[in-house]
Amino acid sequence: MAAGTKLSAIDSELFKDPSLYRSTIGALQYLILTSPAISFTVNKLSQYLQAPTELQWQACKNVLRYLKGTQSHGLQFRPTVSLHLECYADVDWGSNLDDMRSTSGYCVYLGPNLIQWSSRKRRVGALSSTEAEYRALAHTTTK
């Protein structure tokens, strides 16, 4: 998704073929298993399955273009001597313009290998960015 793009339920006119949008998003959700880079964007686009707009469809097409340009990229698992775990978490506090809830994500590495990742909209709103960050860290460490 282009940096700075803010999607909402009323950001443009309704998309003419919602079933095309839904089936495309469904296929992209399947691709998240091997392309974690699109996890955040697909999560965001999935929030508008009920009534997608033209701007959301354009963002969906941008994801498809990105995938076409990165077909040779993929997850690689390399042997490693040390088995140290590294976790990274981030949250976009109040990023949803419709309900002001945050979207958080994390990734877990075992040595140089990515073994787990997630991006999801938080169920509970946070009163500050600090609270949102702490919740994202707590979620990362308990998964």
At 82 the pLDDT is 82
At 101 the pLDDT is 72
The Cα-based distances of 133 to 3, 31, 109, 125, 137 in angstroms read: 21, 27, 20, 12, 6
CA dihedral sign of residues 129, 133, 135, 139: positive
Q: For the full predicted model, state whether its pTM sits above 0.75.
A: no
At 3 the pLDDT is 67
Tokens 């809830």 correspond to: 101
**Domain residue spans in the chain?**
18-69, 85-142
* Residue 30 clears pLDDT 80, i.e. is over it: yes
Find the angle CA(130)-CA(136)-CA(137) to the nearest 5 degrees: 90
Q: State mean pLDDT over 119-133.
A: 72
CA atoms within 13 A on the CB side of 91: 24
Instruction: Output the average pLDDT for the chain.
Output: 83
Give CA–CA dist 31/95, Å, rounded.
24
Give CA–CA dist 55/42, Å, rounded.
14
